[in-house]
Amino acid sequence: MAEFTMLLGGNLGDTTRTFAQAETLIAERIGLITARSRNHVTEPWGFTHERLFLNRAIQVESGRSPAEVMQTLLAIESELGRTRDGNSGYSARTIDIDILLIENQVLDLPGLTVPHPRVQERSFALAPVADIAPLLKHPVLGFTVMEMLDQSLR
């Protein structure tokens, strides 16, 4: 069993309802949700849009492999209305579910890099994680979530 730290984000549709549906599907298909942050409302990152984002971190205990978890998350996103146009840029979306950290694992797999390659730059991801796991350490950088959040806000 491993503990996956994930971030849910979205700014289209009823994001609160979409997050509830996502959590139900994650619990059914991946594993037990052991922690959930409060909701954070943030500006879009990497693009402009008239709607703000809702972000929430969760921790999920699972015996599935990281690749299996990622494939399941992509399927859940699709079921909940996420469309990908092939454009590598950032855009508005119903939901995005990222794996940020998996305990102290470092992975570079096709379609999955853990820790998330930009987690240390993104206060919109770090602030929700700080709600549930402030002392969780980045296995490469050695900084805690709170230390990375402090640096990202400077």
| CA 143 – CA 121 distance, rounded (Å) | 12
Residues annotated catalytic, as ranges:
82, 93, 96, 98
Helix, strand, coil percent content, the chain, rounded in steps of 5: 30, 25, 40
| CA 23 – CA 147 distance, rounded (Å) | 28
| CA 41 – CA 53 distance, rounded (Å) | 6
The answer to whether residues 66 and 102 touch, using CB atoms and an 8 Å cutoff, is yes
Both tokens of residue 73?
A: 């998350």
DSSP-based three-state secondary structure for 42: strand
DSSP-based three-state secondary structure for 92: coil
| CA 126 – CA 108 distance, rounded (Å) | 21
